[in-house]
Amino acid sequence: MDDHIDFVTRQLEAADSLSGLLATSFIGLEMVERGTLLLTEIAPLQTRPAYVTAYNEATHASGALLEAPTLIWPSRAAFASDRHRELAATVADLSLTVSRALLNAVNLAADPADRVACLGAVRHTGLVYAALRQVP
């Protein structure tokens, strides 16, 4: 998660227009939501109320930002070209890399439940790969 936070932080610092700041801020708020949700799940019981409050407020913050009229997402026209194919190929390659990593994890895992979980994830990741490669 730290790498994602670093990436979003760099994007926020590089944004130089209002629409860019709003879009990257929204993405940042999504990361804040994910981080605080994770904290509600892993934190000791005595600290969870604070993290639940933080998560709820992060959710409200992103909801409030959605009301900004200048918050503009790329239109479908921007992706009408073959750009979607490039993205699909990149995501397919990533899914293949994840599958390889999971297969390595299977070889290292001593617990049969870990092996089963990894193999199940490999199966689904393989289906992602297959579906993305079918795109004409």
Listed in sequence order, the DSSP H helices in 15-134 are 18-42, 48-65, 83-108, 112-133
- Do residues 127 and 90 share a domain? yes
- Do residues 6 and 50 share a domain? yes
Give the CA angle between residues 100, 104, 109 to the nearest 5°: 145
Domain that holds residue 12: 2-65
- Do residues 37 and 90 share a domain? no
Q: What is the pLDDT of residues 11-43, one digit of tens each?
A: 888 888 788 888 888 888 888 898 899 999 998
Q: What is the pLDDT of residues 89-130, one digit of tens each?
A: 888 888 888 899 899 999 999 999 999 998 998 899 898 888
- Do residues 96 and 122 share a domain? yes
Cβ 72 vs Cβ 23: under 8 Å: yes
Indicate the number of domains in the chain.
2
